[in-house]
Amino acid sequence: MKIKTANRRAQEMRTALPQAVRARYDRRLERVVIELSNKLAVMFAPQDAEGLEKATPAELEPIEISPSGFGIHFPKLDADLYLPALLEGFLGSRNWMAARLGAAGGRSRSAAKRKAAKKNGKLGGRPRKRLDELGEYAEGRNPRGYTEADVPRLIQEVRAGKPRRRNGVG
């Protein structure tokens, strides 16, 4: 029964979505070009796709298309892309995309960000978080129940080279 259901879903996808009919790397444009069954073509820069970020032009050729027409395979890189996800704008896994978005945000140089950085710099940098502000996270990481008042003493002990107890040993 599961096989019949899977075959039915695959057939529905084939009728609803275009499939790849040809794929190549265009060295002049520096883009992967995928021609679709609906006569449209999709192209993207390899550095924007997971698994292709550091690929050389030679590694991007040849490109294989899966029998379903939904998979794009780069044999020299052992990298695969899923066409329906590409058509929705997803060029990698959720974690990979999130990391890329986070990196882009970190490079942002808006006027508000520059102003905040300048203000933090005048104050001696980003303010430290207090233990009580960290809530449950701090509780799980603070089994001995140290308080903010203990921190200066602990720092002095470490700097003085006093042996510290680890995991109740020592």
Q: Taking the model in full, what pTM does it have? A: 0.53
d(CA 18, CA 74): 20
The highest-confidence range among 3-7, 28-32, 109-113, 122-126, by mean pLDDT, is 28-32
d(CA 150, CA 92): 46
- CATH architecture under which domain 2-92 falls: 2-Layer Sandwich (3.30)
Q: Is the pLDDT of residue 48 over 90?
A: no
Q: Where are the domains of the chain?
A: 2-92, 111-160
End-to-end CA distance of the chain: 62
